[in-house]
Chains A and B, each alone.
Chain A
Amino acid sequence: MTKILIADDDPEIRDLLKKTLTRRGCEIISAADGQEAVAMARDQKPELIIMDIIMPGAINGIEATRILKADAQIDCPKIMILTGKGGAQGLDEAASAGADAFFSKPFSPLELLRKIDEILA
C-alpha cells in the first residue's frame, strides 16, 4: 500500500485529499505545518509527500522540501508541491527546492491521481 503524507494547514483540503487517495488504496498520514511534515517524513518514511507552500510555523512547504531533499540520512520521498500560490514564482520556488512535481489549486482529483501515478511510476 502506497504511503502518502499530506502536508497542508487546511483541514478541509487534507480531508478531501485523504478521501480521494484512500479510495485509490493509499495509506494517508497528514501534517498541518512544515515542521510536522519534516518530522513525519523522517519518522514514517512515506513514498510521496503532497506539500502545500504556505503553512504556519517556522518553516513553510518550500523550506520543508529543501530540508528533506538535503537530508542525507533518509531516502527522500518524492515531493509534490500542491499550492494555491500559483504562477511562475511558485513553480520556480518548488523547482529550486528540489520538488519532483508542482500542482496548482484548485485541482481535479482525477488529474491529481494521474500525476501521482506518473511520479511514483
Chain B
Amino acid sequence: MLEESAKIDGRDVSREQLLKYVEDFARLYEIERMQRKALEAANEKLQQEIGERKRLQDELIQSEARYRSLFEDSSDAIYVSSRDGILVDANDSFLALLGYERDEIIETSVLKIWADPAARSVFQEQVEATGSLHDFEARFRRKDGAVVDCIVSATVRKGRDGSILGYHGIVRDVSEEKRRREILELARRMQALAHMAGGIAHEIRNPLAISSSAAQLLVNDNIPRHLRKECAEKIVTGISRASLIIENLLTFARPLSEYATKEIDLVGVISNTLEVVTATAVGQHIELAFQPGLEHVMLPANAELLHRVFLNLFLNAFAAMPNGGKLLVIVDANTSEATVTVTDSGHGISEEQLSSIFDPFFSGFTASRGIGLGLSVACYLVVQHGGTIHVDSTVADGTTFRVKLPLGSSSP
C-alpha cells in the first residue's frame, strides 16, 4: 500500500505526486531504452559499413598490387608520360630497353629518348585523334646512343573533366625482327639479281652464239660464197641483237628526268608506231585496226620513249599471233588521263604467267624475242611517265594491254 504522503529529497510529496514521478520515470526509462536500442542498431550498421569499407580497401590494395606487379614484372616495356613530355613512370623492362637507371630518366623529358623528337608530335597527333594507337613505329635512343626500332601501342590518359593528362603505353623492341626482315629482303634482292644476271647471260649468249658460230664458220675457207655472205649477215644480226638488249637494259638505268619531255600528241605517236610495224603485220597476215577516239590527245611525255612502249606492245602482240590475227588499238581520254587499249587475237597468256610477264627476262615468255625485255621496258617507261599498265588475257582468246597515262595540265 502506498502511503498518503512521503518525503523525497527532504520534501513532502503527496501520493498523487509520487504516482506522477513513478509514471514519468517509467516513460523516461522507456524513451531511454528505445534510444539505446536505436543507437545499438546504428552502431551495428556502422560496424558493418566499416567492415565493408575495409574489405573494399583491402581489395583495392590487392588490385593495385596486382596491377603494380603486372606493370613492374611485365617483360614488355610500359611507361606513363604527361602530355607535356615528362616521363611520369616506367617499368624495369622500359628502363632495361633504354639502358637507364630509374632516377636518370623518371621525371625527365621523354624527348631525349626519341631518336627523332619530331616523331613524338606525330605520335601525339595520332594517339589524341582516336584515343588510342596501335603499333606506331618509333625509333628510340638508348642511353649509350644506340637507336632501337620499336613499336608503341598507347592510350590517352584523361582527367575527370575530360582533359588529356598524358599517355600510357607499351613499347616493344622490334630491332631483331626488323633485322631479320632486312636480311630476308636482301636475300630476295640477291635472288632477283641472280635471276636477272642469269637472264642477261642467257639473252646475250644467244646473239653471241650466233655471231661467234657464224664467224667460226667463216674462218673455214671451203664454205661456198652464198654461205659466207649469210654468215657475215648473221654476225651483224647477232651483234645488233646484243646491242639492243644492252640498250634496253640501259633504259632501266636512265630515269625519265634525263630525257626531254614536252607536250606531245599521243595519237600521233601511236599512228607513227603503227606505220613502222605495218610491213611486219602484212608479212604475218595480221590486220591492224586503229580507233583514235579523239583527233589529238596532248600530254607531257618523251615521244621517243612512248614510241618504244607501243612498239614493244605491238611486237609482243605480233609474236602471240604467229599464224595471223587482228591487232586493235583504241585511244581514249577523259579530263585527267589517256587510255590506250592494245588487243590482240593471239594465243593468250596463262593465268600463272600473267603475274610475271613484266618481270625482266621472264623465262616462260619469249614473245619479246628480238626486242629483248620488251614488256618490262614498256612497263618501266609507262611507270616513269606516271602511268599504269594492266593486262587481261584469256588463253586461246587473246590479250589486252591497257596503258593509262596522265594528261598533266593539258586537256584532251
In the complex, the answer to whether A10 meets B208 with C-beta atoms within 8 Å is no
Determine chain A's interface SS by DSSP, over half rule: loop
Closest beta carbon of chain B to A25's beta carbon, Å = 14
- Cβ of B365 within 8 Å of any chain A Cβ, yes or no, is yes
Q: For B202, list chain A residues within 8 Å (CB).
A: 54, 83-85
Q: For A55, list chain B residues within 8 Å (CB).
A: 366
- Cβ of B198 within 8 Å of any chain A Cβ, yes or no, is yes
Q: For B87, list chain A residues within 8 Å (CB).
A: none
- Given A10-B369, A12-B234, A56-B367, decide whether A20 and B206 contact each other with a Cβ distance below 8 A: no
In the complex, the answer to whether A107 meets B212 with C-beta atoms within 8 Å is yes
Q: For A89, list chain B residues within 8 Å (CB).
A: 198
- Cβ of A16 within 8 Å of any chain B Cβ, yes or no, is yes
In the complex, the answer to whether B206 meets A60 with C-beta atoms within 8 Å is no
Q: Out of B204, B213, B364, B366, which one reaches A16, CB within 8 Å?
A: B213
A15 and B217 CA atoms in complex are apart in Å by 13
The digit string for A63-104, where 1 denotes a CB below 8 A from any CB of B, is 000000000000000000001111101000000000000001
B contact residues, total (Cβ < 8 Å): 29
Q: For A57, list chain B residues within 8 Å (CB).
A: 364
- Cβ of B186 within 8 Å of any chain A Cβ, yes or no, is no
In the complex, the answer to whether B364 meets A106 with C-beta atoms within 8 Å is no
- Cβ of A1 within 8 Å of any chain B Cβ, yes or no, is no
A9 and B237 CA atoms in complex are apart in Å by 16
A109 and B365 CA atoms in complex are apart in Å by 28
Chain A: interface residue count, which band?
20 to 34
- Cβ of B276 within 8 Å of any chain A Cβ, yes or no, is no
- Cβ of B65 within 8 Å of any chain A Cβ, yes or no, is no
In the complex, the answer to whether A16 meets B363 with C-beta atoms within 8 Å is no
Closest beta carbon of chain A to B369's beta carbon, Å = 7
A83 and B198 CA atoms in complex are apart in Å by 11
Q: For B363, list chain A residues within 8 Å (CB).
A: 54, 60
Interface pairs (19), CB distance under 8 Å = A9-B369, A10-B206, A12-B207, A12-B210, A16-B234, A19-B217, A19-B227, A20-B217, A56-B366, A56-B367, A60-B364, A86-B205, A87-B201, A89-B198, A104-B205, A105-B205, A106-B211, A108-B212, A109-B217
Which A residues have a C-beta under 8 Å from some C-beta of B? 9-10, 12-13, 15-16, 19-20, 23, 54-57, 60, 83-87, 89, 104-110
| List of 5 A-B pairs having minimum Cβ-Cβ separation, nearest first | A84-B205, A105-B209, A106-B209, A106-B212, A84-B202
